[in-house]
Amino acid sequence: MLRLFIAITLPPDLLQTLGDVQQRLRQQLAGLPLTWARPEGIHLTLKFLGETDPRRVEAIVARLRAVAAAWQPFIVPVDGLGCFPDRRRPQVVWVGVQDPDGALQRLAADVDAVMAGLGWEREKRPFTGHLTLARVKRDAGNDERRRIGEQVAAFALPAAGSLPVQALHLMRSQLDPGGAIYTEMAAVPLGGVDGGA
């Protein structure tokens, strides 16, 4: 079985910026119970598929091609720092991906719809574009969580830049003690253009 998800990958300059932000945050949150994402693996998840039979990959890619053909590349701003579900009880620390005209939400909905056609359950929560920087460890206490939330709220985020949405990427996630390792299984360019993001 393969642990799969569908994502937008980030260009090197944005990865570098987020790596710098992550480094500064690590210093500020030193000693607090966080697991940090590998900077090179930061991505925007559109749909998590989970454990998948490798024989289904071809059908998944075919459906992604159908979605991608109906879209042209676009750009979204990257800005804002926050926590899920909120700053009082943080579980995830993220940088926001803005969606001023709703294009990202519509693209995620299209991906969700075609995956539902292959038997995956539809998303129940509305899509919120974000780039995960860290996860709070499960055994973190309430006081530690509150301190993480306060530090994130007080952190001055520099201008992060923008994210070009050029292709849909089918990714494999392999869990490792040092953090998940991601491998691209397929890249499907939007509108049939070269999606070399």
The single-letter code of the amino acid at 14 is L
pTM of this structure: 0.90
Provide the Cα torsion 88, 104, 53, 182; round to 10°: -70
Please name each of the domains of the chain with its CATH number.
Answer: 2-192 (3.90.1140.10)
**Which segments of the chain have a pLDDT < 50?**
194-197
- Cα 138-143-146 angle, rounded to 5 deg: 85
The answer for residues whose C-beta is within 8 angstroms of residue 77's C-beta and 6 or more apart is 97, 98, 100, 161, 162, 163
Burial (CB count within 10 angstroms: exposed 0-12, middle 13-18, buried 19+), residue 90: buried
pLDDT of residue 192: 67
Per-residue pLDDT, 193 = 55
